[in-house]
Amino acid sequence: MFFAFVLFILVCWAGFKISTFAVQISNKCKLYQRDFDLCVDELKIAKSKYNQTFKNMYLILSGYANQEIRLNALVANKRDYSSVLFILERFPELKSDKAFMQTLDQVPGFEAELVEAKKKVSRTYREYQYYRSVLPQSLITRFLPDGSTEDSQLMHQESKDKDDEPEQNSIECENTNRNTRLMAEFSEHDQNYQDAQARKRYERHRAEWLGEEVVDEELKEENTQLQNRADNTAIEIMLPQTFSVPRNKFRHKIDLSNHRIPQEAIDLGWTLHKHIGKGVLDLDPSKLELFYAPRGNFYELVWLPFFLHKLKKGKIPILNDSVLDYLLDHPEIIPESWKTGRDDKLVTRIDFLGTEYRSPSGEIHVRGIMWNALTRKWESYGGKSISIQFPLAIYGKVGSLI
C-alpha cells in the first residue's frame, strides 16, 4: 500500500514537470516567433530606406541637383535636399558606376519619383522668386551663415565647388547649361507677373492683419486658406518690417452658421438634427471655458431639470461644431486647463452641444474633442447626448442654475 502511494506521488510529480516543461517550450516558441516577425519588419524598413537612398542619389547624378536645388536649400534652411547635396559633393564618381545605375533601374516607382522631384524643383524656384521680391533683405539673410549676402554666398559656393570637385563630364556640363538657360528664360518672362502678384499679396496681408476690409472675394478665400495653416511663428516671418501686429491681436473669426457634416459622421450614417448658432463669432480664446455638473447623486437629480430648462431657453452659451472644427485647425488657442479639468486628471472628453446628429437607430449624438496623451494632439470623437459626466465647452461664464 505504501509503495502504491509513493508511485502515485511520483507519477503526479512527473506529470506536473512534463506539463510545465511543455508550457515553457510553447512560450519560448512564441518569443522566437515574435523576434522573427520583428526581424522581418526591420528588414522591410531597411529595404525601404535603402531604395529611397538610391532614388535620392539618382536625382543627384541625373543633373537635377543643380542651382535650383541649391537655392531651395538656401531659402528653406537646407531642410529638403541637404543630404542629396552632401552625396553629390563628395561622391561625383558614382555616376559612372554601372552597377550603381543598374541597381537604380530595379527600384520600383522610380520614374514617378523623378517627375515629382522635377516639379518640386520648379515650384521651389518660383516660391523663392516670390519671397525674394516680397520679403525684406534682412529676413532673407537669416537663412545664410555668418550674415553674408545671397550673391556672395552663391559665388562662394560656386568657387568652392570648382576647387573641391573634380572635372565634370560633358553630360553634366550640358545639364548645367540647359538649366541655367531655362532659369534665365523663366526669370525674364515671369518677373513682371511675380512683381504684380507679390504686391497684391502684400496689400491683402496688410489689410487682413490690420483689421481692414478686404473687398476682393478671391483674395478673401485665399487668405482664409493661408490663415488656417499659419501659426504665430509663420506670421512673424511673413510680416514685412514696415508694420507689426501683436500676437494677441490676431483675429479668429468663425462663421457659426456655416456647417458641413464631417466625414466621420457620414460614415456612421448620421444626419444633422439641430445646429444652434448664426452670424460670425469674433473668438476671444480667453473666454473659452468648461462647464461641469455638480458632484453628488442627489444634487444631480435636483440640478439636472434646471440645467435642461436653461439649455432649452438658450441661457447656456454652448458651442457648436463650427467652433469645434476651428479649434482642431488651431490647437494653439485651446486652453491648457482643458487637458486636465477640475481634478487635475486627464479629461476623457469635452462635449460641444451646439450641433446634434441623429443616428439610423434614432438616437441623438454630439461631437467633442479629447486630448490624446500618446500622440500629443487634440482629436475629435462622437458620443451620445447629453452626459453630465463630462464637461461642456462654453463661451463665457455661467452662474448658478438653481
370: Cβ contacts below 8 Å, ≥ 6 apart: 347, 348, 349, 350, 378, 379, 381
| Cβ count near 33 (within 10 Å) | 10
**pLDDT reported for residue 376:** 82
pLDDT < 50 stretches in the chain? 63-89, 107-108, 110, 142-159, 162-165, 167-168, 214, 230-249, 402
122: Cβ contacts below 8 Å, ≥ 6 apart: 68
Query: Roughly what angle, to the nearest 10 degrees, separates helices 82-90 and 2-61?
Result: 70
**pLDDT reported for residue 323:** 92
**pLDDT reported for residue 53:** 54
How far is it, in rounded angstroms, from Cα 160 to Cα 22? 69
CB of 351 closer than 8 Å to CB of 393:
yes
**pLDDT reported for residue 152:** 45
Domain ranges of the chain: 55-209, 217-251, 263-395
How far is it, in rounded angstroms, from Cα 380 to Cα 334? 13
**Partners of residue 272 on adjacent β-strands:** 357
**pLDDT reported for residue 327:** 92
Strands (E) located in 165-231: none
Cell of 200: 497684391
**pLDDT reported for residue 247:** 39
**pLDDT reported for residue 99:** 57
